[in-house]
Amino acid sequence: MNILCGCGELARCQTSWTENNPARRFLGCPNFMDPTTNCNIFQWADAPLPNHWYQARIYELHLHMRNAQEQLIQVNNQNSQILF
């Protein structure tokens, strides 16, 4: 689904990874956080998680996954510097 925002960009489906709305999809303009634009498209696609416990667990899992990805990148960089 393509919707043209008031700023001229196409809105797209994105996923929020904030602490309050982890893994929650929304339709939004790429510039909706920019106060200098005339963006008028932001709409949640998913219902909120049922309670704070779920929000906290999903957010923690997201942080663990992100840390694991960063560690993997570091290990890969270290391995690429090893000369055989």
Q: Which residues bind Zn ion (CB under 5 A)?
A: 5, 7, 9, 29, 31, 39
Residue whose CB is less far from Zn ion, 18 or 40: 40
The answer to whether 61 and 76 are in contact (CB under 8 A) is no
Least CB distance to Zn ion at residue 23 (A): 23
Q: Which is nearer to Zn ion, 21 or 31 (CB)?
A: 31
**Calpha distance 62→72 (Å, rounded):** 15
Q: Which is nearer to Zn ion, 39 or 49 (CB)?
A: 39
CA–CA separation, 59 and 77 (whole Å): 27
- In angstroms, give the least distance from the CB of 6 to Zn ion: 6
Phi first, then psi, for residue 39 (nearest 5°) are -80, 135
CB of 3 to Zn ion, least distance (A): 10
Q: Please, what sign has the CA dihedral across residues 53, 58, 62, 65? A: positive
